[in-house]
Structure 1
């Protein structure tokens, strides 16, 4: 597969890292020579310095025979024009653009990106995706990640093991016997900064970050097995009234009307704009690092503080101050990758990475075959993939114990109609089953082949 990536920032770099590691032919275009040099030195990709929307630059990057364009520069307009040029002049089949400005995404202008106007196949809005990701986590107290799969029938959960986790120091193969109503499959463990796919003999330890797949109907029971039995938050304080904070507040008002929501915004004009846009949320103008403002927001009585301002340092410090005052849980947006490991040790409960969320969203459009959704875990550790089993797949018709799965692949769940099946060795996959599995990064291409229409794609 030949892919042109416009933009060598964090998102462009990580998309290039994923795809080049899988053997794709990647060309990255950016007008910043330093970023191009960095990506060329770090990855097996071709780097080009140039303005990503210029036809001659795209032609030099190989647009005439490219399979896909991923436009993730910092300028929405450059991303959109690059897609238009690649469609009108070069006929690139798939075009993905990151669009940040919410004005372009207003439903009033929904025809803008149609095939007759500006043909972009998939639009990624980081602000909307991050707001959705945080709203999902609000529904599962104790989880640092929560992703609905298979139309909500399955949930992927990320949770940290503490000293109170009841299933510590127990071989995973014994969990079914000890907890027969525990409908989960543990697919990945992060320990001391390293990730691995667990074997039946592995045990969970305090401090582990565990990813498991659960039947959504049994989610409360699954969380209780990790020592988290709290109800969804009813009192929430949001720091930051930017696009993420505003979209999050809108979503909470719409989907969780029982939640008492307060939003702190330091800029007066923006606070006034947000207050006009929201119906029930109490908007407070002030500095979230000011104890008086935190007291006005009554953070000591809040179950959750969500810090999503444009400043990482403000997010981190506001979260720590809120917890110091008595807030039960802090969810913190952090853009700088170097802060990630530090934040967890400070006592912040969940870190939100816009870069990681954007990369995950883009990957689901890059993957081939009957792959419905993709979620990247722990900065490249692996991917949770939801796919449809085809009649031509070698998985169909035989017990899973006989399936020749690549190393680093673990089945998490099978959805057959309305039935959720936790897979065992004697489980037989049928055509049209929706399968949720985990794959280490180096096994993803092999998983794609398992779910591809052979004559169409290979």
Structure 2
């Protein structure tokens, strides 16, 4: 696929990196030649220096041959105009825009083809907020990802000593919880994937990937992991866009303290949040401040400033001072990979939270959802089986006969729509039906194209 990206900032860079690894033809437009030079040296892509809202720059970047444009510039107005020009002047089929303002929502007339011609809206701050919210709801999990409009969920947990899972094989664990339909789709030990067979024995520290009916997540987690108490007291360092959105969403659920360094921002936060939210002017890495505000009594400490180093330091300090669980927003991939699972319980990458949203639009075939796993190395993909036995590689076939690439595996099937839908844990003989939503774990991104082909309907396929 030929894709144009506007903006070589953190989000644009992460998007480009993810899409380049899948052998797409990527061109990045930015006004900073230094940024583009660094990207061109590191990734197999082309950089075009210039203002992306100028038609001449889009023409130089090859907009006339583009299949998709993704606008990731810092300013909403630049992204809106970029999509409008790409659609109206160059007939680009698909436009995606990063829009921070809540005034612009997907599906509104202002964004339709007669308006700014934005097909899909992404908002990293909103995505990060929702991601954190899931982790707060299920504090035992490292990740909680939803499929089939929330009907099925993939949960990632770290096996801990004393839990029901540790010391048992996967088959024995299923016997311990016979009433819970679930499937272990992957297992990682010391950052290496190991075969998740019925005879595989779980050890402390293993990362376990489990697919289950969303309504069964709580009892499944109870069986896998020692249940943590709900988050009732929470401290946020950083009152920026993410911090404000998160505080707003949590004020009715738990006690929130918010630390912000800038005085004017504190005044704005106080005007936007109810009086029950305590706004503190200060530094999240100030030991005296944390001590005065009883950080050791916090169920969760979140470092959400725009500075990676500040976030890492404040989260590590809060953990040392007794906070039960700490999370840190970390933009740089090297930092995130280094800190994940260390003193910091969960390192959150803003870019990775939106990659899945983008990938669902890039995927070929009828792909409904994509979630990036293992910091982009693996993927969980939800596709819809269409057609019939003559036109589909899936419909009318048993699971054992589906030509999956080596290593990829079907984790669950969601059959039916709405309240009548069912989450199935398929076996070798399960027959795939038309309109089934199939969730597949893909351990290596190089296998994605082969999996995508399974969801493409062909009038001439008789395999």
| TM-score calculated relative to the size of structure 2 | 0.89
1:429 equivalenced with 2:429 (yes/no): no
Aligned equivalents of 2:159, 2:350: Cα separation in 1: 24
Give how far 1:23 is off. Answer: 3.1
Mapping of 1:331-410 within 5 angstroms?
331-344=327-340, 346-391=342-387, 392-410=391-409
Aligned equivalents of 1:275, 1:296: Cα separation in 2: 20
Give how far 1:357 is off. Answer: 1.0
Mapping of 1:129-278 within 5 angstroms?
129-195=127-193, 198-253=196-251, 257-278=252-273
Determine if contact 1:188/1:195 at 8 Å carries over to the other structure: yes
Determine if contact 2:159/2:165 at 8 Å carries over to the other structure: no
RMSD: 2.6
2:33 is aligned to 33
Unpaired runs of 5+ residues, structure 2, are none
Give how far 1:201 is off. Answer: 4.5
1:441 equivalenced with 2:445 (yes/no): yes
Aligned equivalents of 2:380, 2:182: Cα separation in 1: 14
1:454 equivalenced with 2:449 (yes/no): no
2:121 is aligned to 123
Deviations 1:333-384 (A, max 9, x none): 1112221233235422111110111222211222232211111012222211
Deviations 1:1-23 (A, max 9, x none): 22112233443334333333333
Aligned equivalents of 2:20, 2:289: Cα separation in 1: 48
Superposed structure 1 runs of 4+ greater than 6 Å apart: none
SS in 1 for 2:375: coil
Determine if contact 1:331/1:350 at 8 Å carries over to the other structure: yes
Determine if contact 2:157/2:207 at 8 Å carries over to the other structure: yes
Give how far 1:94 is off. Answer: 0.5
Relative to structure 1, is the Cα distance of residues 356 and 409 closer, same or farther in structure 2, using a 3 angstrom cutoff? same
SS in 2 for 1:294: helix
Aligned equivalents of 2:33, 2:187: Cα separation in 1: 38
Unpaired runs of 5+ residues, structure 1, are none
2:410 is aligned to 411
The range that moved more, 15-24 or 382-391, is 15-24
1:83 is aligned to 83
Determine if contact 1:11/1:359 at 8 Å carries over to the other structure: no
SS in 1 for 2:393: coil
| TM-score calculated relative to the size of structure 1 | 0.90
Aligned equivalents of 1:2, 1:313: Cα separation in 2: 36
